[in-house]
Every structure is written in C-alpha cells, then in structure tokens.
Amino acid sequence: MIKCPYMTTNTGIPINDNQNSLTAGQRGPVLMADAQLIEKMAQFNRERVPERVVHAKGAGAHGHFTVTHDISAYTCAKLFAKVGTQCELFMRISTVAGESGSADTVRDPRGFALKFYTEDGNWDLVGNNTPVFFVRDALKFSDFIHSQKRDPGTGMRDNTMQWDFWSLSPESLHQNTILFSDRGIPASYRHMDGFSSHTYSLWTAKGERFWVKWHFKTEQGIQCLTNSEAAILAGTDPDYHRRDLHNAIDQGDFPKWRVFVQIMPELEAETYPINPFDLTKVWPHKDYPLIEVGLFELNRNPDNVFAETEQAAFEPSNMPAGIGASPDKVLQARLLSYPDAHRYRIGTNYSQLPINKAHCPINTYHRDGQTRFDANGGSSVNYQPNSFNGPVDAYPLKEPPLKICGDADRYDQGNDDYSQAGDLYRLMTEDKKMLLIGNIVAALATVPRFIQERQLGHFYKADPDYGHRVAVGLNLLDPSAHK
C-alpha cells in the first residue's frame, strides 16, 4: 500500500479535510476563516496567463541536436566547433491564427520554434514550415494578423477579410501559393519541413560574415491532408497533431529533422539580383545549394504542458557568438517584439523559468522584479564597472561591424511580387496544380466579386494559366480581362 503524502496549502500547512468548507453549524454560512477555501479559489481564478497573440495552439517536446558536418569555416559558434557535438533542445510547433483551444488541422502555416541550450547561451531559431512569409515589412504584420483572425463586428473569421488584405498586398502571393498548396495542411507535425524563413548570419572569429538561410528537412517524409480530411479531423479530434506527436514520442518513434544551410558570402548580398533580405523571396538552390549541418530528434514529452510548452519563451534575439541577424526588416522587428511579448505574457523574469533558463552560467547585473526565482544575485555587486571582481564585459568574440549605407527613410522594397510565385506554380505537377486551384477557389468562393477580381489579377501576373484556372473555377466572365 503506497503511503501518500499529506495534502498541504501553498505554504505547506497540512490539510485535514479537502471535501467540506468551514461553516457556522451543520447548515450555516461558510466562514471567511476558511483560508484553505479562499486560497483554492484565488489560485483557480489566476490559472490563465494571456495566450500567445499568434501561435496560441501548439505542442512542445524536448530533444537533441547533433552536429554531423563541419561548418566552422563560417562560424565561431562553439556549438559548431566540431562534428559530433550534441546539444539539448526544446521545440514548439504551432498553428498561427487559431486560439489555444482551436483545431490543429487547419490551413495555416505551422510555427517551427527551436530553443538550443548551447554552452554559450540559448540559441532560438523561431521559424515556420514555409520558407517565405506573407509580408516583407513588420509594419504590416499586425494588420495582416487582424485580417486573419476574428471580424471585430461578428467575432467570426472571414475569408473576405483575409483576401481583402492579401489582394491589396501582392507580396503575399508567394506564401499563399504555398499555403493553398497541399503543404498548407500537414498530416502531422512530424511530416513537414521547417525553415528559418529569414536570412540570418554566421560570423567567424576572424571577422568574416556569411548570410545564411536554415532548412530543416523531415526524415519522416512530407505528408499532407486534403481540405475534407482536415475538416473531419478538426471536428472529431481538434488535438490531432498534438496527440500524434505525443504518442509517437511515447512509443519511441522519435521524429527527426536533418539540418541544412544555404550560405551566401557577405559581399554577394550587394550584387545578388534578388534582395536576399526580402522575406517573401527564396534563394534558388542552384545559386546557393543546401549544405548539411546536423540532425535533431524529439525524444521526450513535457512532464507538464503549462510549465514547459505554455511558458516556453522563444526569441529570435537569442543568438550566441558566431550566429547573428540580418537586415531583414521583419526579423529586425522580431528581435524586439518577442522579449516584449514574454514580459507581458509571463513576467519580467521569464528567462529564469526552468524551461527558458540557459544551461550555462548567467552573469547579469539585473536585479529584483516580480517573481524573482533565484537568489537575485545574493550580496554580489549589482553594478558595472566595479572594483569588486564582478562579471566583466570582456568576452573575446565580437560580431564584425555591419556596413551601413544610405539615408534614413521609409523604403518600399517591393520590386517583384510575382516571379517566384509563378516559378513555384510552374514547378508543380498537374495534380498539385489542381489541388492548389481547388483550394483557392473554395477559399475565394464566398468573397465579394470585386476582391476576387483584384486577387485574380495577381494570379495572372504570376502565371496566365494560374490566373485562368482560378477564373474558370470562380466562373468569372471574360477572365482574360484581368491580365
């Protein structure tokens, strides 16, 4: 017979009765003195932290990354110093627009967030399962998300809002050609690729910088769901992807992804015909082939979803020495937005939560703040510079300077919103084209004609066949009028 521990209150006071409130007499009113009852209700009222404003529904798991190929010529990051190095990681995969109780099997990009606990601090690569994004400027992000979420008047999601924004933001066409392809609804979190989407950088101790795009190729193979398969699962099992990942790991069927980079020498960015920092563009692999780096697997489920998955705080600004950002306007904004979101959502000292705590020495002069989880620096000196052997700002590696040129202004980087969307369309096999057109026609069917026609003009500009097939699918008269 297992001897169970006694229940206690939050402060360890043993509890004799958890079934009956304290009342004045057998049938009398409940007494205010019932601190146990009051604590229980107060704790319950405060269980929810604000859900993520995007990517609210997701699933997390722990795993390991192993370096399989030498890229130390591009980076001084200790993680990549030698082949065979292993590093623990935590990953969260998510949808974008739905709330935390929404269905997994929806047409939506999937967040692909990785936290590597390296010996030089956490490296967070917070990507998606798509190599590009809907916008190339952060200024448009919150408008874009508003158009994807619930109508402020009806409280319901609305295809008209979505396509109104997209038809007025042609830079979204490349991403939408991916989103409405079969890749738009993965069969599971395990059967999809991941991407940094942005261009980042790697730098060496000698001061060289390379631009880099990260690719994570699933070892499970790509598998997708059709609209009808997804709709049934959204009703019968809204946690279908979360369950699949959890069960696979439980059964020892550890999902794996092979990690690759595309590398562009720093100066080539100035002459490359595609703006390498435009988040709506890919770098053709013929120009910059994939270079293998490593392999990661997910092999341990969280013990507690709230403590680990809900409180996980990923931030693109977490980049150890040897890894850096790029001038990509969306990435630049994300460097600031994520820590801000975490401070709001899970408090000032969120980086001390176990799931976010670096697996290496942390020597800051930050002190105090709500829910300080550690010794708060004890009696050690809390300012710098100081004469009392406090931590010094003398780490030997420094990111090379970034050359800046031009006036401060609001530049429109838009120059070509169509050729890569058209290239992707023309790459598709006939069956994939039919799937794409069918998914787009279904999504546009309820949208007002003037928006359909505006969007149709974009499809035509990407590829006349692309536009024509959508026009026919929508029974739009004289489709050639939209060239």
- Residue 95 binding ligand HDE, by CB under 6 A: no
Q: Respond yes or no: is residue 55 known to be catalytic.
A: yes
Residues in contact with 212: Cβ distance below 8 Å, sequence separation at least 6, in sequence order = 74, 196, 199, 200, 201, 202, 261, 262, 263, 264
CA–CA distance, 185 with 192 (Å, rounded to integer): 9
Among 37, 83, 232, 333, binds ligand HDE (CB under 6 A): 333
- Residue 111 binding ligand HDE, by CB under 6 A: yes
- Residue 277 binding ligand HDE, by CB under 6 A: no
Among 52, 115, 136, 482, binds ligand HDE (CB under 6 A): 52
- Residue 434 binding ligand HDE, by CB under 6 A: no
Instruction: Report in angstroms how near the CB of residue 107 gets to ligand HDE at its nearest.
Output: 17
- Residue 197 binding ligand HDE, by CB under 6 A: yes
List the one residue out of 170, 128, 185 whose CA is nearest residue 436: 185
CA–CA distance, 258 with 217 (Å, rounded to integer): 5
When the beta carbons of 67 and 132 are compared against ligand HDE, the nearer one is 132
Among 7, 49, 53, 307, binds ligand HDE (CB under 6 A): 53
- Residue 174 binding ligand HDE, by CB under 6 A: no
CA–CA distance, 50 with 368 (Å, rounded to integer): 23
Classified as helix, coil or strand, 61 is strand
- Residue 194 binding ligand HDE, by CB under 6 A: no
- The one catalytic residue in 18, 45, 69, 128 is 128
- Residue 63 binding ligand HDE, by CB under 6 A: no
Kindly state the tokens that stand for 157. 């999601």
Among 312, 443, 444, 451, binds ligand HDE (CB under 6 A): 312
Q: Respond yes or no: is residue 128 known to be catalytic.
A: yes
User: Is the separation of the CB atoms in 218 and 190 below 8 Å?
Assistant: yes
Using only C-alpha atoms, the chain has a radius of gyration, in whole angstroms, of 26
CA–CA distance, 144 with 172 (Å, rounded to integer): 10
Among 200, 240, 338, 350, binds ligand HDE (CB under 6 A): 338
User: Is the separation of the CB atoms in 111 and 58 below 8 Å?
Assistant: yes
- Residue 215 binding ligand HDE, by CB under 6 A: no
Total chain residues near ligand HDE (CB under 6 A): 26
Cα separation values, 420 from 42, 184, 212, 285, 461, Å: 54, 18, 19, 13, 11
- Residue 294 binding ligand HDE, by CB under 6 A: no
- Residue 133 binding ligand HDE, by CB under 6 A: yes
- Residue 126 binding ligand HDE, by CB under 6 A: yes
Cα separation values, 287 from 101, 265, 272, 319, 422, Å: 42, 12, 10, 26, 18
- Residue 330 binding ligand HDE, by CB under 6 A: yes
Residues of the shown chain interacting with ligand HDE in the complex, contacts defined by CB under 6 A: 52-55, 58, 92, 94, 111, 113, 126-128, 133, 138, 141, 197-198, 312, 314, 330, 333-334, 337-338, 341-342
Catalytic site positions: 55, 128
